[in-house]
Amino acid sequence: MPHPREPRVNPSILSADFANLQAELARIATADAAHVDVMDGHFVPNLTLGLPVVEALQKVSPVPLDCHLMIEDPDRWAPAYAEAGAAGVTFHAEAAAAPVKLAREIRAAGGRAGIALRPATPVEPYVDLLAEFDMVLVMTVEPGFGGQSFLDVTLPKIRRTRAAIGDLDIRLQVDGGVSVDTVERAAAAGADVFVAGSAVYGAQDAAAAIEELRTLAGRACGH
């Protein structure tokens, strides 16, 4: 079903130049947030950045930080990202021991709480818990590396998640392979927050790329 909320575009700094992150954040000043992928080399094979870098980015970012924790033991680490000022903190369902307790701790620390599902993780076990979250992230690639192709097999899960959300005030984010070629399919399935890495940072004009993704998603959502 079409979703009435305005689509949001959160470019992933995983595709940015890590030696110049302040300048790279300035390139996406028209975005809704900066998507910050935190990877620990355990939950996923890649290793990126952690809390000290997020604290530094928070001081210079022109947009809110949307932190996606691809880490083991988020129950221990996730609240600190909200305390550091991240607007949103998303942890993986597969890694959390007590997802509801953790979501409440993130919210108590001032952040919006999100729960992420890998492509093979069904949404159904979490349907009764959805009201505890501000966002559900359906991964549209296997988490761990940027630049992968969008997995169309996740579209039915996006539709089921949107149906489960119903009238709840919960955003539905997709992350992985989002581009001008795929954003409309994801939006039509019910997503309203779009994480795009190389589609934005690989463009000469990042602001124009963000606006194009927003326009395409909005059209598919019925805006």
Strands across the sheet containing 65-70: 8-11, 193-196, 171-175, 135-139, 112-117, 88-92, 65-70, 34-39
Residue 10 sits at φ, ψ, to 5 deg, of -115, 95
DSSP state letter for 6: P
Active site residue 175: yes
Q: Containing H/E element for 135? A: strand 135-139
Do 128 and 99 contact (CB within 8 A), yes or no?
Answer: no
Active site residue 205: no
- Identified catalytic residue from 37, 66, 134, 192: 37
- Identified catalytic residue from 32, 66, 175, 192: 175
Do 28 and 206 contact (CB within 8 A), yes or no?
Answer: yes
Per-residue CA distances from 132 to 116, 123, 162 (Å): 13, 14, 16
Catalytic residues: 37, 175
